[in-house]
Amino acid sequence: MAIDKRVQSAAAAMEGVRDGAVVFISGFGGAGFANKLLVALRDHGAKELTLVVNSATHRLSLTHELIAAGQVRKVIASAGRGRDAGLSVFEQLLKDGKMEFECVPQGTFAERIRAGGAGIPAFYTPVAYGTDLARGKEVRTINGRDCVLETAISGDLALLRADIADRFGNLTFRHAQMNFGPAMATAAKLAVAEVRATQDEPIAPDRVQLSGVFIDRVVAVGA
């Protein structure tokens, strides 16, 4: 049967997502948030989720809707601070001990996901050595440099936003949409991209920015 990874709706793209899933959410600074898929995941209702997302609280991401809906058990992120002086829902849950949070330096965050998708169980990095974020982690001096052992992150579902997808799931990204998307897609069992448009015609091979091999479902949601 001819490969076709296009699905009809964001809701259909969430089929099979289970409680307790580890969910990667791409997007950074306003670019590449898969907000249609986030709403679909909220409506799908899966609970006890672990979110792996750069920022738990970015104002342009709908990540907070999953948190506010009580579907999230734990967040792994480089940022968990709300913009306002008062506490965000996420910060209130943290304060009340109802949310687990793992704060990770952003480059280590990206590399742990890359490792998860690349078959590397763990790696040493000099980042965070001597800081609170290295507490409890194995330390080793390599070529005279003090390093921290960091483990890979892999998961169940990745949600990313791209520009164009063809039926093979090959993707192009617009401007800075890419950010964590490619790494997250490689690290998840089910990688879903919402895109501005899908096309029957294959994307030119040398213009593809993420191979469809890493993508399982695509859904066109418009601009």
Instruction: Tell me which residues touch other proteins (CB under 8 A).
Output: 28-32, 54, 56-58, 60, 78-82, 87-88, 90-91, 94-95, 101, 103-108, 110-111, 113-114, 125-133, 173-183
Q: In whole angstroms, how close is the CB of 6 to other proteins at the nearest point? A: 22
User: 26 or 46: whose CB is closer to other proteins?
Assistant: 26
Q: In whole angstroms, how close is the CB of 113 to other proteins at the nearest point? A: 8
Beta strands at 145-151 and 139-142: parallel, antiparallel or unpaired: antiparallel
User: 18 or 95: whose CB is closer to other proteins?
Assistant: 95
Q: From 151, 149, 154, select the one nearest 125 (Cα to Cα).
A: 149
Q: How far apart are CA 132 and CA 115, in angstroms?
A: 23
Give me the sign of the Cα torsion angle 129, 131, 132, 135: positive
Q: How far apart are CA 103 and CA 83, in angstroms?
A: 17
Q: In whole angstroms, how close is the CB of 95 to other proteins at the nearest point? A: 5
Give me the sign of the Cα torsion angle 54, 56, 60, 63: positive
Neighbours of 150 (CB within 10 A): 22
Q: In whole angstroms, how close is the CB of 45 to other proteins at the nearest point? A: 25
User: 124 or 167: whose CB is closer to other proteins?
Assistant: 124
User: 95 or 140: whose CB is closer to other proteins?
Assistant: 95
User: 17 or 108: whose CB is closer to other proteins?
Assistant: 108
Q: In whole angstroms, how close is the CB of 197 to other proteins at the nearest point? A: 14
User: 7 or 35: whose CB is closer to other proteins?
Assistant: 35
Q: From 122, 86, 132, 127, select the one nearest 107 (Cα to Cα).
A: 127
Task: Enumerate residues 6+ apart whose C-beta is below 8 A from 78.
Answer: 54, 55, 103, 104, 105, 106, 109
Q: In whole angstroms, how close is the CB of 129 to other proteins at the nearest point? A: 7
Could you tell me if 190 and 157 are in contact, meaning their C-beta atoms sit under 8 angstroms apart? yes
